[in-house]
Chain A
Amino acid sequence: GIQVEQSPPDLILQEGANSTLRCNFSDSVNNLQWFHQNPWGQLINLFYIPSGTKQNGRLSATTVATERYSLLYISSSQTTDSGVYFCAVFSGGYQKVTFGTGTKLQVIP
């Protein structure tokens, strides 16, 4: 099946710093979604992005499907950005979804 790798696995940032998280996938996908899992365990939708670039406030995402990767940018990080960021790819029929193992982000004041 399709493989999804995220990097880096762990990241510590000073508040106010910028960061880039990467998601590589091994085969063609129909779509891609980024999630943030907050410290309470809730999974929050960030972006649903098969290709191109989307922005939402301090966060933006770019997917280059032909090169099989997606990037999540976090600017001016805040302590509330802490948690785990997952990418999930959609492939095959019936919305088969495969998750990466996540990037754990800690933003310190």
Chain B
Amino acid sequence: DAGITQSPRHKVTETGTPVTLRCHQTENHRYMYWYRQDPGHGLRLIHYSYGVKDTDKGEVSDGYSVSRSKTEDFLLTLESATSSQTSVYFCAISGQGEGNQPQHFGDGTRLSIL
């Protein structure tokens, strides 16, 4: 499948600490996304990027920030992690073309905040 690497794959940390998750792609795709997956909620969009330095909020963006300084990397930061941010985080990418393009997902990061 698409060349998407998420790191770390698993992380356990304490409330109040900063956390950064990385998504790296080798497909040179324009769009990148961060989702969280929680039981009963499916996947919910946190933030997305439509180009280098171009980002926007999704439906559950409070408590999260993102940065994209290079096409291939999209970082998700929890400035001060809370237990409600315990979740599985997925990165996705999609290309630019006529109309929408399909999304491809990374393997996810399981984050536990104690």
Contacts and interface: CB of A to CB of B under 8 A. Distances in A.
Q: Which of B33, B41, B59, B103 has the most CB of A within 10 A?
A: B103
Main secondary structure of the interface of A (DSSP, over half): strand
B42 A31 contact: no
B15 to A, nearest CB: 24
Contacts, number: 54
B22 interface: no
Q: Is the interface of B mostly helix, strand, loop or mixed?
A: strand
Interface string B39-77: 011111100101000001001000000000000000000
A19 interface: no
Interface residues of B, number: 26
Contact of A101 (B33, B41, B99): B41
Nearest to B50: A94
Contact of A95 (B35, B40, B44, B100): B100
A90 interface: yes
